[in-house]
A and B are shown apart, each in its own frame.
Chain A
Amino acid sequence: MSEKKIMLGNEAIARGAWEAGVKVSSAYPGTPSTEISENIVKYCPDLYCEWAPNEKVAMEVAIGASMAGVRSLVSMKHVGVNVASDPLYTVSYIGVSGGLVMVAADDPGMYSSQNEQDSRMVARAAMVPVLEPSDSSEAKEFVKIAYELSEKYDTPIMLRTTTRLAHSQGIVNLEDRKEVPDKVYERDIAKRVMMPGNAIKRHLFVEKRLKDMANDAASFEINRVEYNDKKIGVITSGIPYQYVKEALPTASVLKLGLVHPLPRKLIEEFAKNVETLYIVEELEPVIEEQVKSWGIKCIGKEIFTVQGEYSANMVAKAILGKGTEFDAPAQAPARPPILCPGCPHRATFSLLKRLKIHAAGDIGCYTLGAVAPLSVIDTTVCMGSSISTLHGMEKAKGKDYIKNWVAVIGDSTFLHTGVNSLMNMVYNQSTATVMILDNSTTGMTGHQDHAATGKTLMGQSVKPILLDELCKGMGIKNVVVVDAYDQERLEKVVKEEIAKDELSVIIAQAPCALLKSYVPKGKCITLSDKCKKCGMCLVPGCPAITKKADGTVAIDDTMCNGCGLCMQRCKFGAIERVSK
């Protein structure tokens, strides 16, 4: 087969896993890694794939599959690596039976993340080798190489990507799947049971493994020297390689495919052969600090930032001192992301705003409840943190302090790690009110199923976990399910539950308006003769409503889903719902 196809980086990773003979894949959705699983499912039934409730679980599933002797894949965004780091650090000691590859997708520039951490640092700490592809074609190839290396060196491998790689498309050469025979399982307690006596020995193995790999790495084809004019030499990897090639077509380049452990001999030789050595890497100076520690003179973060994405122009300016000339950008009002028209979170948040309630927030579309005009969310740390941070506030200041607070968390995030936090509230006698904003999907990442939706990644219908029953099962007495659009009832319930000196869970339900199964209720129209120009309908901040020059409002009929939130807000009957 020699077919060529244009593929997203993540699509190419999925293809590479299939070609490498992977049999099990587990993941929790997270931008920019989600499309790996969304594409890998196309290769069923050659492999099994699933959405796990969180990255730690996904990692452990992949470890189990590897122990059972098959090649397995686990993919996650960079902050997911933190969640999965507990098993990661230890599976590094255990090693693999079938190859084990973990995709860690970093997000320089934070297009869709709460921080800008560099997963290579985690891999170094966990003593796990890292491969870094620089386009879709390499993404596919590197996955296959990763499995070879994983099995050869008895180690899990991290394939590190960034948003730009994950969400760029490029030409990929399609090849066939190579079935890999399952490794025969042999009981090996000393290797697989990590208690002190065994782990001490495995740690020695891990140190030696990294040294061996570093020695061998000089001859790895994925570490490539491209000699050209030797005045400028650049060590780079991943997407920055493309910027370097674009900006400095005549420079010599050492392109690293393996970024941990580093091929020291190769780097020393390259450094000797070039006049000035630069290191171009996005985020942290991971390569640079090691190279400098060997006494090699090079320039890196002295002229490059540790923040955001790079570009060819940035590389040209930093190294050559000149870049492209262009017009100054126009002054254009900012357009930050917002909740969609018909989004049920807007219904909940506009009520909380009216009641002057603060929300401890969480990770998902609903984090946008922190943005004006809603500005309801006060705090957001990480997945599941809304519930536990609110608990901390109560324990710090007492139950009266949180009488105008709730925790808000999505259904998928609740199952990810929120459920643990809620257990803590039950156990340690919280009196807080937790609102699960149940829109029946993992919204922000593009609508993935989870344990409470009743569908698996492979499309199987299963018995959904019932969130209300789950909460009741923990012994919570006050569990109320409300339609998020029934504003009158929601208001009553929120007031009642907050007033109680007991733990309450309110499940505010209404499906995401972007779900394929969503049926619009119609569309809302304005009756300008009844409009008193009070602007109440504008308060929830729906993007479909705009104020006209005369002060009355207009509703964009292509955007409106007829959710009726504005209609409920209008006291003068100036908004009506009609069929779409």
Chain B
Amino acid sequence: METKNIMIVGVGGQGTLLTSRVLGGIITAAGYDVKLSEVHGMAQRGGSVVTFVRYGDKVYEPIVEEGKADVLIAFERLEALRYAHFLKKDGVLIVNDQRIDPMTVVTGVATYPENIIEDLSKKYNVIKVNAMDEAKKLGNTRVFNTIIVGVAAKHMDFKKEQWLEIIEKTVPQKTIDINKAAFEVGYNL
């Protein structure tokens, strides 16, 4: 199998690492070679964060490069814009319709771009999701990232049951049920 390239981008603190753990778990369970690359340390403090996931028969490079991503999962609109050029021509962009102003916007040095999703849709195959609203409906905003995993799951090569199994193994014991429910919400959107 040709190596598949996934990227997860967002703002430090949004929980992108949990998503990559779930991805890593399901890919390993399926028996593929896999490499995942994460950002720890200073950049995690509210900065722009990226996780790369690559899997296939044999994976060398642990990062996804510009123009190579099959799927780009963006937890925030501006981050979708920042990394969209990493997508392949026919790549899929899943974007959570949330706005988090960077300090450069708060202090007035920069302006948060308007119509990001509309503009990206002209160029890429964009799937928009409002995971925060969906999570609020479930009564727990912290599972919004699992909802995004549910949406992304439809664009990857694994069965729904496999995803649910990995979620059960990855998330804290007492949050298994709510995370499974969140996955279902995303999967059925």
B40 touches A112 (CB 8 A): yes
The minimal Cβ–Cβ distance linking B175 to chain A, given in whole angstroms, is 15
Residue among B62, B67, B141 facing the most chain A CB atoms (10 A cut-off):
B62
A334 touches B104 (CB 8 A): yes
Interface 9-mer from B106-114, B146-154, B156-164: B106-114
Q: Beta-carbon contacts of A20-52 to B below 8 Å, as 1s and 0s?
A: 000000000001101100000000000000000
The minimal Cβ–Cβ distance linking A12 to chain B, given in whole angstroms, is 12
Interface 9-mer from A197-205, A237-245, A476-484: A237-245
A326 touches B84 (CB 8 A): no
Question: In the complex, what distance in Å separates the CA atom of A327 from the CA atom of B141?
Answer: 35
Given contacts A242-B62, A546-B101, contact A111 B86 (CB under 8 A): no
Question: In the assembled complex, which residues on chain B have CB atoms less than 8 Å from the CB atom of A556?
Answer: 100
The minimal Cβ–Cβ distance linking B95 to chain A, given in whole angstroms, is 13
Question: In the complex, what distance in Å separates the CA atom of A170 from the CA atom of B33?
Answer: 8
Question: In the assembled complex, which residues on chain A have CB atoms less than 8 Å from the CB atom of B107?
Answer: 372-373, 541
Q: Say yes or no: is A5 at the interface (Cβ < 8 Å to chain B).
A: yes
Q: Say yes or no: is B19 at the interface (Cβ < 8 Å to chain A).
A: no
Question: In the assembled complex, which residues on chain A have CB atoms less than 8 Å from the CB atom of B110?
Answer: 333-334
B25 touches A333 (CB 8 A): no
Residue among B13, B82, B106 facing the most chain A CB atoms (10 A cut-off):
B106
A111 touches B101 (CB 8 A): no
Question: In the assembled complex, which residues on chain A have CB atoms less than 8 Å from the CB atom of B85?
Answer: 326-330
Q: Say yes or no: is B90 at the interface (Cβ < 8 Å to chain A).
A: no
Besides A169-B37, A324-B68, A326-B85, 11 new A-B residue pairs in contact (Cβ under 8 A), listed by A number: A32-B40, A112-B41, A168-B35, A327-B67, A329-B66, A330-B81, A333-B110, A336-B104, A340-B46, A543-B100, A547-B106
B46 touches A332 (CB 8 A): no
Closest A residue to B141 by beta carbon equals A558
Q: Beta-carbon contacts of A432-453 to B below 8 Å, as 1s and 0s?
A: 0000000000001110000000
Question: In the complex, what distance in Å separates the CA atom of A291 from the CA atom of B47?
Answer: 40
Q: Say yes or no: is B63 at the interface (Cβ < 8 Å to chain A).
A: yes
A332 touches B12 (CB 8 A): no
Select which of B27, B60, B100 is within 8 A of A242 by beta carbon.
B60
Residue among B43, B63, B79 facing the most chain A CB atoms (10 A cut-off):
B63
Q: Beta-carbon contacts of A323-349 to B below 8 Å, as 1s and 0s?
A: 011111111111111111000000000
Select which of A239, A445, A547 is within 8 A of B41 by beta carbon.
A445
Q: Say yes or no: is A174 at the interface (Cβ < 8 Å to chain B).
A: no
Q: Beta-carbon contacts of B69-105 to A below 8 Å, as 1s and 0s?
A: 0000000001101101110000000000000111111
Residue among A168, A446, A545 facing the most chain B CB atoms (10 A cut-off):
A168
Q: Beta-carbon contacts of B33-55 to A below 8 Å, as 1s and 0s?
A: 11111111111111110000000
A35 touches B45 (CB 8 A): no
B40 touches A167 (CB 8 A): yes
Select which of B47, B63, B84 is within 8 A of A338 by beta carbon.
B47
The minimal Cβ–Cβ distance linking A77 to chain B, given in whole angstroms, is 9
B109 touches A372 (CB 8 A): yes
B101 touches A245 (CB 8 A): no
B40 touches A546 (CB 8 A): no
The minimal Cβ–Cβ distance linking A41 to chain B, given in whole angstroms, is 17
A337 touches B62 (CB 8 A): no
B61 touches A312 (CB 8 A): yes
Question: In the complex, what distance in Å separates the CA atom of A471 from the CA atom of B127?
Answer: 58
The minimal Cβ–Cβ distance linking A20 to chain B, given in whole angstroms, is 24
Given contacts A340-B46, A546-B101, A558-B141, contact A111 B41 (CB under 8 A): yes
Question: In the complex, what distance in Å separates the CA atom of A118 from the CA atom of B74?
Answer: 34
Q: Beta-carbon contacts of A303-332 to B below 8 Å, as 1s and 0s?
A: 000000001110000000000111111111
Q: Say yes or no: is B132 at the interface (Cβ < 8 Å to chain A).
A: yes
Q: Which of A128-147 contact B (CB under 8 A)?
A: 135
Closest B residue to A556 by beta carbon equals B100
Given contacts A239-B62, A243-B61, A333-B104, contact A4 B28 (CB under 8 A): yes
Question: In the assembled complex, which residues on chain A have CB atoms less than 8 Å from the CB atom of B78?
Answer: 332-333, 335
Q: Say yes or no: is B185 at the interface (Cβ < 8 Å to chain A).
A: no
Question: In the assembled complex, which residues on chain A have CB atoms less than 8 Å from the CB atom of B65?
Answer: 311-313, 324
B63 touches A340 (CB 8 A): no
Given contacts A338-B103, A340-B13, contact A164 B37 (CB under 8 A): yes
Question: In the assembled complex, which residues on chain B have CB atoms less than 8 Å from the CB atom of A167?
Answer: 37-40
